[in-house]
Amino acid sequence: MAPTTSVTTLADECVDLFFDIEPLQPVLLGLDPTRVGLGDVSEAAEREHRAALQRLVERAEALDVSERSDEDRVTRDVIVSQARSRIEQLDTKSVEFTITDFFVGPAASLLTLLPMVGVATPEQGRAHLDRLAAIPDYLDQVLQRHRAGLAAGRTPVAHLVRASVEHLDRYLAAPTDDPLLRQTPPDEEFTARRDALLADVVRPAFARYRDALRAEFVDRGRPEDRPGVCHLPEGDAVYAALARVHTTTERSPEELHATGLDCIERLAEEYAVLGRRVFGTEDVQEIFERLRTDPALRWSGAEELLDTARAAITRAEREAPNWFGRIPPQPWVVEAVPAAEAPGAPAAYYLQPSVDGARPGTYFANTHQATERFRHTSEVTAFHEVIPGHHFQISTALNLTDLPLLRRISDVNAYIEGWGLYTERLADEMGLYSDDVARLGMLSMDSVRAGRLVVDTGLHAKGWSRQQAIDFLERNTPMAGVEIVAEVDRYIAYPGQALSYMVGRLELQRLRAEAEQALGSRFDIRAFHDLVLGGGALPMTVLGDVVRTWVERQKG
């Protein structure tokens, strides 16, 4: 068998295994819209999945890649890294103690992901009805794992269990607003069967799950002064594994905590410089208060908000050829978040372009109550989400059709969000921010991500209470109080994930600095950016190897 075929085949086997473990993933990606099932989370299934992943790692490591192409070597390393991450994730047994209204909770996940499934044909409709019918067995499996966790001391967090119960109470109290009704029915038969399933099967299953949470778990969950996984059996090892999974590096929780504190300290110096120019004060707390409350930092209306985003992205598009050799052709547009969704939607988000080019990359800005929204974070968010951020990154990846599917769909958050954060600072180098107020927005977003390093590790490695985490973010970020509480509960519910953002950015900045130092005048920023974006979403350790190989060849 030809060497290239062998590595590509193994990569395809890796994707197939991932899809077997999470059958909704290929459906949501549009790769296999008629695949059925919700996944098997039983202990027996996890043992089988773990063994299959381990065999995949061993086969990949056994490959002799010394005579193969660069892309084959990178693909082999991606297989090993991604499969090992899945093994570590399974070993944490997080399904046993993850009960929350956040989308990583089992029930909340179903109510978030299933409404996104398209049912454009009768065949897709039948597959979706099968998924709905599978909900009771899935939730029963989840409940068995929760009970096993309770017996082993892997308890959930009490206030997040209560939040999950309240979420399901709201869901069950409003059947006409059921998110599982959102799909456009392909035919009348689908509508009738779906409605019967929801009434007779799905909602009763969610009710049974809710009742069990209320009866068995609320009073036995961890209190707010002990929400971190360090309070679970072997919790330190669990969190160290989750840190590796989410950052795709070997950096320890202790090191990450110190890094976050260092970032916070350096940001204070930058705030003092800009605060003096904008507000006439160097006091960081005064600057934070002005950013939270100053009416001059709000919009006059929706159109001003949208026009500012369009102007910022247009500036970035004009400047991009000086910083990127490869400019993706996919167009972009700025639109308001649809009015029906706006009240509960985030401040902004990005929807990638369609593969066929029919739909442009769309930056949705939330204009609901526009006069209450922060002006200073508008530009940094637009650069992060569109150009030179996610629109550039995702559009480039869509064009990498010569790479195996694994490389094009890898969900490596440290790379994806690391790139978004890297471009927030890159935008300053490119001269894109319109004024010092916009640069304060850049610092504001940095504060949030640096705070995540400190608070996530504080909660899960150092044993902080929920209130300690809230207090730290109140002192060290300009976020509003209601946002801080939601952020902290997110970190409690999803240990380690919040580390990926700043770690990814710092790794990208470190790799660039090393390349600049090694190459001196031969360093080409456009070639560097094309290299980083040209391999798909890579684990940070693999990206480091790619950059170092490139540097050595440039030197040669």
In a domain, 230, yes or no: no
- What percentage of the chain carries pLDDT values higher than 90? 85
Q: Confidence band (pLDDT; 50, 70, 90) for 343?
A: confident
Same domain, 252 and 381: yes
Whether residue 466 contacts residue 492, with contact meaning beta carbons closer than 8 Å, is answered with yes
Strand extents, DSSP E, 161-316? none
The β-bridge partners of 349 are 364
Listed in sequence order, the residues at least 6 apart from 123 whose beta carbon sits closer than 8 Å to its beta carbon are 34
11, 144: one domain: yes
Q: What is the pLDDT of residues 382-425, one digit of tens each?
A: 999 999 999 999 999 888 999 999 998 888 999 999 999 999 99
| Cα distances (Å, whole numbers) of residue 216 to 97, 138, 141, 150, 151 | 13, 18, 16, 9, 12
The number of domains in the chain is 2
- Averaged pLDDT for residues 181-203: 93
Residues 326 and 216 in one domain: no
Of the residues 458, 485, 501, which one is the last residue of a structural domain? 501
Q: Which two tokens stand for residue 499?
A: 């580390």
Q: Which amino acid is at 329?
A: P
User: Residue 287 corresponds to which amino acid?
Assistant: I
Q: In this structure, what are the phi and psi dihedrals at residue 187, rounded to the nearest 5 degrees?
A: -165, 170
For 287, the token pair is: 């600057």
| Domain final residue, candidates 501, 523, 543 | 501
Tell me which residue of 84, 32, 94 sits closest to 60, measured CA to CA: 84
Report pLDDT for 415.
97
The residue with tokens 């062998």 is 6
Supply the pLDDT for residue 342.
77
Check whether residue 130 and residue 193 sit in a common domain: yes
Interstrand relation of 361-365 and 348-351 (parallel, antiparallel or unpaired): antiparallel
Distance of alpha carbon 430 from alpha carbon 443, whole angstroms: 16
Rounded to whole angstroms, the Cα distance separating 537 from 527 reads 17
Residues 267 and 219 in one domain: no
The whole-number average pLDDT for the span 437-449 is 97
pLDDT in tens, 266-286: 999 999 999 999 999 999 999
Is pLDDT at 184 greater than 70 in this prediction? yes
Dig out the tokens for 6 from the structure: 């062998």
pLDDT at 2: 44
367 falls in which pLDDT band (50, 70, 90)? very high
User: The tokens of 511 are what?
Assistant: 């790799």
Segment holding 166, helix H or strand E: helix 158-173
Closest CA to 267 of 510, 529, 444: 444
In three-state form (DSSP H/G/I as H, E/B as E, the rest C), the secondary structure along 424-462 is HHHHHHCCCCCCHHHHHHHHHHHHHHHHHHHHHHHHHCC
Residues in the chain, total: 556
Tokens of 140: 């029963």
Token duo for residue 230: 């360090």
Give the C-alpha separation, 182 to 176, whole Å.
11
* Cis amide bond preceding 106, omega within 30: no
Q: Which residue has the tokens 């036995």?
A: 220
pLDDT bracket for residue 555 (50, 70, 90): confident
Q: Label residue 483 by pLDDT band (50, 70, 90).
A: confident
My answer on whether 47 and 156 are in the same domain is: yes
* Mean predicted confidence (pLDDT) in 305-311: 96
Tokens linked to 245: 């999974």
Q: Do 150 and 10 reside in the same domain of the chain?
A: yes
Predicted confidence (pLDDT) at residue 1 exceeds the cutoff of 60: no
Note whether residue 497 is domain-resident.
yes
Does 368 share its domain with 258? Answer: yes
pLDDT band at 381 (very low <50, low <70, confident <90, very high): very high
Residue 118 pLDDT exceeds 60: yes
Taking every pair of Cα atoms in the chain, the longest distance, rounded to a whole number of angstroms, is: 70
Using CA atoms of 89, 92, 96, 97 in order, give the dihedral in degrees to the nearest 10.
Answer: -110
pLDDT at position 116? 87
Is 510 among the domain residues? Answer: no
For tokens 């990638």, the residue is 352
Q: Provide the pLDDT for residue 272.
A: 97
pLDDT digits (tens, 9 = 90+) for 5-60: 589 999 999 999 999 999 999 998 888 999 999 999 999 999 999 999 999 999 99
For residue 218, being part of any structural domain is answered with yes
Domain-located, residue 536 = no
Query: What stretches of 389-537 show up as alpha helix (H) in DSSP?
Result: 390-398, 405-409, 413-429, 436-460, 466-476, 481-493, 500-519, 525-533
Are 133 and 196 within one domain?
A: yes
Beta bridge partners of 361: 332
Same domain for 207 and 63, yes or no, is: yes
Taking the C-alpha atoms of residue 451 and residue 473, their distance in angstroms, rounded to an integer, is: 6
- 535 in a domain, yes or no? no
Instruction: Indicate if 84 and 127 belong to the same structural domain.
Output: yes
Average pLDDT, the chain: 94
* One domain for residues 211 and 250: no
480 lies in some domain:
yes
Contact partners, residue 55, CB within 8 Å, separation at least 6? none
3 has pLDDT over 50: no
Strand, helix or coil at 336?
strand
Give φ, ψ of 361 to 5 degrees: -65, 130
The boundaries of the domain holding residue 84 are 3-225
Q: Is residue 547 part of a domain?
A: no
Given this model, what pLDDT does residue 64 score? Answer: 87
Decide if pLDDT at 493 tops 70: yes
